[in-house]
Every structure is written in structure tokens, then in C-alpha cells.
């Protein structure tokens, strides 16, 4: 019976039971490199800058339309500093398709409004508008740091980063003390902290003179001294407050990684690491670090933008290939995180179909909500292809799904790739506390996701 059972039943194993010491060590080293990247990549702009620096070290050069493309050539296209496409030209022509992996490097955060600074009762604040899906109560009483750019009228771009270094000041949104919160505590968690209430405390010491807004004047003077900016310059700024937590190991066994922005820089790094290792792939390998996924992939740096098509069309043109031919023969791994099954909240999941920590790269055939609405739903054939690919390459993987039926839902860039007539499937790292200021992933799953993307890139 045991024999028959193991032959006929689908049984999942914990990833740690499937790898040897050498692989564990490799996963450990991989995790270290990822943690370093995540620590330095707090915004999509920083994630792109750091990716370009890593790519250049491996011989990637900026793509120039019309440049000759030999197999093994490594090029990249920087989309306005906020999204990035890298490609390694394959042996086979693009008419046979490309292997694409697409992750996003934007994460939920608090963007400063354009008229952001104000003083109230001798304390100074930044007003914010949150970006992406957040539980607002999670963003108060945690240290925040400020990142982004101020674009001056002159065309000059001023880089801002305050709070990343240990000796730099941080920022915070205050909350009521429990003693006086009895009315607040009666509200729902969605209502207890409001969007308009997410104002960041940035100063308290007044300017040594008389008049109004003395604290604001003092803070603005500091900003002017450091960055040469005035209040009007905020109108053309993209400044964002992100959690000021360092990326760190979690657990006595150090098997997990805690940090801000795993979704989806954890998959972006996996793709990046994989494409940087390629020599001459069979098919052209393409790595996308997209922006704007958390707000619906709209915008010029999101995956609904034609920026990707322009880049691919340029490559195709050089080889005398029609873009539509390339697309219909291409394959895309939409590398995005999945919601890990959380034993503390079992009620929202279907345990059989949810992804689990340490069970490997999580493949989601579909996402969406309410009867699979808004998902590209990969075909059985595409899933079968991954089963074969991962089996042949020792990639530990599992199926995943976004919660139990009718519990909620969500989406990724997958449907926008499928819309281009590209076979696409979601696969990535399971995450605990997704979209929280401090998310958790497992080293094992991170490593397996990298191996999964690498296997796709290297497939014959």
C-alpha cells in the first residue's frame, strides 16, 4: 500500500529534506547577496540604479537602437530611471521567441504630497498619499526614512536620502496613547488610522526669530542648506517615506529574512542574479524590473506602457523579425511573490492550495478575484512545461494561490504580458506579512526562485 500510495499520490516535501549541505551553503550565500541588495534598494529608482551597476560589472552596455546584436551580447534599457530591461542575446533568432522574466521593483510606501510641508501647533509635518495596498495602522509609530528626487526648474535632479545611515535622523507618524484611545479603539482597523492622518513628524525646534511658522522655517532652512531646495521645489519632487528597518535574519536558526520591500524586489533580484550569470543562452533572455505594479501597472514605467514593446521591437528589427512573431513564441515567468500560508491566520487560506514557507518557488496558475476575474490564468500546457523544466533542474517548487475562494484577491503583471500574446505564468517567493512595512521570506524559497528563473533562461 505504501508503494502504491507514493506512486499515485501527490505529496509535498519540506525543501530542507530535499537539498544537501552544499546547496544549503549556496542558499546561504545567495541570501547574503540578496539582503545587501534589498538594504540598498528602498525605492524603484534605487533598485534600478543598483541593478545597472551590477549589470555593468558583468559587461552589460546601454542598448542603442540599431546596434548589431551578436549572440551573447548583453544590453540594457533604462526606462527613465524607474524601470529596467536587460537582455542577453541568444543563439536562436527572436522569431523563435525570447525567455522573459518580469518582476517589479516598486513597493507599498508613503509618497509625500506635492504641497507637503506644514506646521501645526509648533510641530512640523509632511503630508503623504500612500502608494499601493497598505494597512494604514501598520505605518504609525515605526521609524521612517526619506528617499527620492527633487527635479528643479533648471532640469537638475537632486537626490535625497535621509535616514538610511545609522547616524542620520529618522521620521515617524505618531499614534494616540492607549489611555486616550477608547474612541479610536472602537473603530475598525480600516478606519482607526486614516489616509489624511498619515502625516510625518519632521521637526520641532523653532527658528530663532519672531513670526509665524517658525518650526517650518527652521526645517526648510535645513533642507535649503543641504539640498539647495525651496518649498516650491516639492511640487516637482518624488519623495517617499519608507520603513527605516535594516534587512535582517529572522529566527534562532536564521532561516528567514525580514525586511521592507521583499514584494517584489526578492524576485527582481532572483531574475537579475540569473541573467547576470548567462553566457550565450539558446533563446534571448530578457529580464524586466518594472515599476507601478502596486498601482495597477499604469504609467510610462509600468508594464502597460509601450516601453517594453519598443525595446523588443528594436531588437527584433535588427534581426529582421516581426515583433508579433517573437511574442507568440515567447515565454514569460511573471516573477512575483505569493501569499505564504500563515498558521496564525489559517482561516483565509485553502491550506492544500496555498504556498508554504520552505516549500520552494510558488507557481500560481491564476490570481484574480471573484471567480478568477482579472487573471490571465496560464494554460495546463504551460504548467506542464514548468513541471518538466523544474524537475530537470532540481528546482524545488510548489503550487500557490492567493487565499481561499472569495476571500479576496489580487493581480500581477502576468495579464499584461499575456495580453501581448506571450504565454505567461506567475511564479515567485512566498511572503509572510506581505505589504507590511516589514515582510518575511525564507532563504530557501529565495534561492529556489533564483534557480527557477535560471532554469528557464538556460532551457534549450
Angle between helices 443-458 and 380-392 (to 10 degrees): 100
CB of 410 closer than 8 Å to CB of 108: no
Closest distance between Mn ion and the C-beta of residue 429, in Å?
Answer: 10
Give the residue with the Cβ less far from Mn ion, 263 or 423. 263
**Smallest separation, CB 336 to Mn ion (Å):** 4
- At residue 171, what are phi and psi to the nearest 5 degrees? -130, 170
Compute the least distance from the CB of residue 326 to Mn ion, in Å: 26
Which residue is listed with cell 495546463? Answer: 380
Closer Cβ to Mn ion, 43 or 284, answer by number: 43
C-beta closer to Mn ion: residue 44 or 336: 336
| Residue 355, phi then psi, degrees to nearest 5 | -80, 150
Element (H, E) at 341: none
Is the Cβ of residue 44 or residue 263 nearer to Mn ion in the bound state? 263
Which residues make up the interface to Mn ion (CB under 5 A)?
A: 263-264, 336
Q: What distance in Å separates the CA atoms of residue 136 and residue 132, rounded to the nearest whole number?
A: 11
Q: Which is nearer to Mn ion, 104 or 283 (CB)?
A: 104
Q: Compute the distance between CA of residue 239 and CA of residue 159 in angstroms, rounded to an integer.
A: 10
Instruction: State the minimum distance, in angstroms, from the CB of residue 337 to Mn ion.
Output: 5
CA distance 398 to 341: 12
Cell 475598525, located at residue: 188
Contact 256, 250 (CB under 8 A): yes
For 352, counting Cβ atoms within 10 Å of its Cβ (0-12 exposed, 13-18 middle, 19+ buried), the class is exposed
- Separation of CA 391 from chain center: 27
* Shortest spacing between CB 295 and Mn ion, in angstroms: 10
Determine the 3-state secondary structure of 418 from DSSP. helix
User: Closest CB to Mn ion among 313 and 336?
Assistant: 336
| Number of Cβ within a 10 Å radius of residue 317 | 14
What's the min distance (Å) between Cβ of 107 and Mn ion?
7
Nearest distance, CB of residue 311 and Mn ion, angstroms: 22
DSSP 8-state secondary structure symbol assigned to residue 229: -
Nearer CB in complex with Mn ion: 376/458: 376
CB of 339 vs Mn ion, minimal distance in Å: 10
Is the CB of 15 or the CB of 102 nearer to Mn ion?
102
Q: Where are the alpha helices (DSSP H) in 91-213?
A: 189-192
Separation of alpha carbons 224 and 104, rounded Å: 33
Place of cell 523544474: 390
Tell me the residue number closest to Mn ion, measured at CB: 264
Q: Measured between alpha carbons, how far is 363 from 456 in angstroms, rounded to an integer?
A: 13
User: Least separation, in Å, of the C-beta of 387 and Mn ion?
Assistant: 24
| Three-state secondary structure string covering 247-312 | CEEECCCCCEEEECCHHHHHHHHHHHHHHHCCCCCCCEEEEEEECCHHHCCCCCCCCCCCHHHHHH
Residue 425 to residue 361: CA distance in whole angstroms: 13
- Smaller CB distance to Mn ion: residue 119 or 336? 336
Closer of 202 and 413 to Mn ion (Cβ): 413
Smallest distance, Mn ion to C-beta of residue 367, A:
10
Min separation Cβ 263 and Mn ion, Å: 4
What is each CA distance from 368 to 251, 282, 341, 408, in whole angstroms?
33, 33, 18, 9
Q: Which is nearer to Mn ion, 145 or 263 (CB)?
A: 263
> Least distance (Å) from Mn ion to the CB of residue 109?
11
C-alpha cell at 10: 501527490
| DSSP for residue 345 | -
> Which is closer to Mn ion, CB of 174 or CB of 373?
373
Amino acid at each position: 500500500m505504501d508503494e502504491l500510495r507514493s506512486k499515485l499520490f501527490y505529496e509535498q516535501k519540506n525543501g530542507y529534506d530535499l537539498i544537501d549541505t552544499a546547496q544549503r551553503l549556496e542558499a546561504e550565500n545567495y541570501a547574503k547577496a540578496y539582503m545587501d541588495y534589498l538594504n540598498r534598494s528602498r525605492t524603484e529608482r534605487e533598485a534600478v540604479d543598483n541593478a545597472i551597476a551590477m549589470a555593468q560589472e558583468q559587461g552589460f552596455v546601454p542598448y542603442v537602437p540599431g546596434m548589431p546584436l551578436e549572440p551573447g551580447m548583453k544590453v540594457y534599457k533604462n526606462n527613465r530611471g524607474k524601470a529596467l530591461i536587460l537582455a542577453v542575446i541568444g543563439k536562436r533568432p527572436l522569431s523563435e521567441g525570447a525567455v522573459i522574466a518580469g518582476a517589479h521593483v516598486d513597493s507599498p510606501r508613503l509618497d509625500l504630497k506635492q504641497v507637503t510641508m506644514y506646521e501645526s501647533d509648533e510641530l512640523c509635518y509632511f503630508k503623504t498619499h500612500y502608494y499601493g495596498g497598505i494597512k494604514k495602522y501598520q505605518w504609525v509609530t515605526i521609524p521612517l526614512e526619506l528617499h527620492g528626487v527633487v527635479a528643479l526648474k533648471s532640469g537638475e535632479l537632486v537626490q535625497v536620502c535621509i535616514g538610511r545611515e545609522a547616524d542620520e535622523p529618522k521620521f515617524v507618524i505618531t499614534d494616540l496613547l492607549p489611555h486616550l484611545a477608547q474612541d479610536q479603539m472602537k473603530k475598525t482597523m480600516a478606519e482607526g488610522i486614516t489616509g489624511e492622518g498619515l502625516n510625518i513628524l519632521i521637526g520641532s525646534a523653532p527658528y530663532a526669530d519672531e513670526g509665524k511658522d517658525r518650526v517650518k522655517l527652521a526645517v526648510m532652512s535645513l533642507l535649503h542648506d543641504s539640498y539647495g531646495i525651496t518649498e516650491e521645489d516639492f511640487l516637482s519632487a518624488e519623495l517617499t517615506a519608507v520603513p527605516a528597518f535594516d534587512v535582517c535574519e529572522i529566527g534562532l536558526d536564521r532561516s528567514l529574512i525580514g525586511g521592507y520591500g521583499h514584494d517584489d524586489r526578492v524576485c527582481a533580484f532572483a531574475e537579475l542574479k540569473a541573467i547576470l550569470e548567462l553566457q550565450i543562452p539558446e533563446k534571448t533572455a530578457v529580464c524586466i524590473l518594472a515599476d507601478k505594479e502596486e498601482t495597477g501597472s499604469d504609467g510610462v514605467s509600468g508594464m502597460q506602457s509601450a516601453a517594453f514593446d519598443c525595446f523588443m521591437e528594436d531588437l527584433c528589427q535588427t534581426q529582421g523579425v516581426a515583433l508579433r512573431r517573437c511574442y507568440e513564441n515567447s515565454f514569460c515567468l511573471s516573477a512575483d511573490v505569493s501569499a505564504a500560508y500563515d498558521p496564525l491566520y489559517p482561516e483565509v487560506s485553502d491550506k492544500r492550495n496555498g504556498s508554504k514557507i520552505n516549500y520552494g518557488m510558488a507557481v500560481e496558475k491564476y490570481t484574480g478575484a471573484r471567480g478568477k476575474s482579472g487573471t490571465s490564468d496560464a494554460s495546463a500546457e504551460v504548467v506542464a512545461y514548468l513541471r518538466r523544466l523544474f524537475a530537470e533542474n532540481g528546482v524545488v517548487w510548489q503550487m500557490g494561490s492567493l487565499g481561499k475562494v472569495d476571500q479576496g484577491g489580487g493581480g500581477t503583471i502576468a495579464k499584461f504580458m499575456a495580453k501581448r500574446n506571450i504565454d505567461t505564468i506567475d511564479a515567485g517567493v512566498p511572503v509572510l506579512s506581505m505589504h507590511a512595512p516589514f515582510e518575511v521570506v525564507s532563504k530557501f524559497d529565495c534561492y529556489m526562485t533564483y534557480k527557477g528563473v535560471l532554469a528557464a533562461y538556460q532551457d534549450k
